[in-house]
Chain A
Amino acid sequence: QVTLKESGPGMLQPSKTLSLTCSFSGFSLSTSGMVVSWIRQPSGKSLEWLAAIDWDGDKYYNPSLKSRLTVSKNTSNTQVFLKITSVDIADTATYYCARRPGGPRKGYFDYWGQGVMVTVSS
């Protein structure tokens, strides 16, 4: 059974660094073609793809945020992390992680986490 679950601080102040964790089970990120991605959604708005990391450790970022994003994974390939530096109110959103088997080009997001809500406020 494939599951993903995001965790994060809930609330943080502007200019701080947001650290998110995606913990998953039922699959391994070491499997060829596997990708885990981060996507966010401000309340009432559409989805925005942020970053991805694949089975080979290759990383992909949304250029609009690239300078602020760092995606990584643990050595046992059961968690993926996302750091966003210098957050501001516009980073307030629900953050999802999602699995994408089949590789970045051929795959699709077949399993999503429940999402974690992050509020940036002073």
Chain B
Amino acid sequence: DIVMTQSPTSMSISVGDRVTMNCKASQNVGSNVDWYQQKTGQSPKLLIYKASNRYTGVPDRFTGSGSGTDFTFTISNMQAEDLAVYYCMQSNSYPWTFGGGTKLELK
């Protein structure tokens, strides 16, 4: 199985901060990485697909980049409503696998 390692596991942030988190794949997954946001008590929500494509309606403060084994997800201007856990997921090969998540908390 491809292991997706996310870092950091948690971040203490302030509104307005620029937030960057990483996802490293144990094998080359091309650009087949998506990013999901999960708020407490809710289902995951798609933000970025295929590494760098913003899904419909997602604010442009969310961006993704990377290919191969190293991927980055950035929130350019953190808002209070962005407090959540963020997961990367690879769909390059079965079984599709998720990272352990990065939790954003208020400082």
Which residues of A are at the interface with B, using a C-beta cutoff of 8 A? 37, 46-49, 60-64, 96, 98, 104-105, 107-110, 112-115
Contact = CB atoms under 8 A, between A and B. Distances in A.
Measured as residues with beta carbon below 8 angstroms from the partner, the interface class of chain B is 20 to 34
B95 A64 contact: yes
B50 A62 contact: no
Given A46-B100, A47-B87, A112 B44 contact: yes
Interface of B: 1, 32, 34, 36, 43-46, 49-50, 55, 87, 89, 91-92, 94-101
B95 to A, nearest CB: 4
14 contacts: A37-B96, A47-B89, A49-B96, A64-B1, A98-B44, A104-B91, A107-B91, A108-B49, A109-B34, A109-B36, A109-B46, A112-B43, A112-B45, A114-B43
B96 A115 contact: no
B46 A49 contact: no
